Amino acid sequence: MKAIAVLSGGLDCCVAASVYARDYDIHAITFNYGQKAFNQELKASRAICEKMGFTHSVIDLPWLAEISDSTLNTSEDIPEVEINDLDNLEKSLKTADSVWVPARNTVFTAIAASYAESIGAEIIIVGWDKEEAATFPDNSKEFLESFNELFKVGSPIDIEIKAPAIDLDKDEIVKLGAEVNAPMELSYSCYKGFEKHCGVCESCMRRKRGFKKAGLEDLTHYEK
């Protein structure tokens, strides 16, 4: 059986792909949309794919970089947060708005569907999760279910998006990763794109807290 995995190199998608690694021949795709962290995301994605035996492709989306005013791919500073800000919905929504890339997951998933049809893959694996769905609607269960309904209408083959973390918070994702032997130590979550995780952007802070709450060793190297 074949699968397409949308792999940014991050913690969530690393764990998600690892859940299906035993049962599927996985072709991972990584997107370059001009994000500051692309080089580190690519390094992480390649390392994960080499470790797990996945086929890997990179897809350049220069047009998405051109139309996006997200702090992820402009010269604007990426917000830094405190640990207590993570559960403050008002502050988290402001951060989410700052890093939002127009229709990113919609675009990525549509392209993944093209790849799935081309190789006869049965599933598309994504790292969407409950914790981030609170501020990113394209991580939500409703978004997942809607896209799967779309595939039933719009694809000539049976394709289903699989999001094993859709009901999980970050600490639960870390625990799941440990259960499936996901190479989480190879993943990269930082928005800023430093060689080491910055440790202060929201993505880094959620990663830090996830490992701490899970009670598992965090092998990530942080600047702060």
What does the CA dihedral 73, 70, 149, 110 come to, rounded to 10 degrees?
-30
DSSP 3-state assignment of 207? helix
Instruction: Evaluate the CA torsion angle 161, 202, 170, 176 in order and state its sign.
Output: positive
- 40, 198 in Cβ contact below 8 A? no
- Joined together, the tokens standing for residue 139 give 């991580």
Domain definitions of the chain by residue range: 2-75+102-188
Strand order in the sheet with 55-60: 55-60, 25-32, 2-6, 123-125, 160-162
pLDDT at 205 over 90: yes
DSSP 3-state assignment of 110? helix
The annotation status of 13 as a binding-site residue, yes or no, is yes
The annotation status of 199 as a binding-site residue, yes or no, is no
The annotation status of 14 as a binding-site residue, yes or no, is yes
Helix (H) or strand (E) holding 167: none
Q: What is the pTM assigned to this prediction?
A: 0.97
- Mean pLDDT in the chain? 97
Q: Report the C-alpha gap between 103 and 108 in whole angstroms.
A: 9
The annotation status of 17 as a binding-site residue, yes or no, is yes
Q: Report the C-alpha gap between 30 and 58 in whole angstroms.
A: 5
Q: Report the C-alpha gap between 99 and 96 in whole angstroms.
A: 5
pLDDT tens digits for 53-108? Answer: 999 999 999 999 999 999 999 999 999 999 888 999 999 999 999 999 999 999 99
The annotation status of 11 as a binding-site residue, yes or no, is yes
State the pLDDT at residue 45: 98
Residue length of the chain = 224
The annotation status of 186 as a binding-site residue, yes or no, is no
Architecture of domain 2-75+102-188: 3-Layer(aba) Sandwich (3.40)
In the structure, what pLDDT confidence band is assigned to residue 224 with cuts at 50, 70 and 90? confident
pLDDT at 132 over 90: yes
The annotation status of 190 as a binding-site residue, yes or no, is yes
The annotation status of 167 as a binding-site residue, yes or no, is no
The annotation status of 49 as a binding-site residue, yes or no, is no
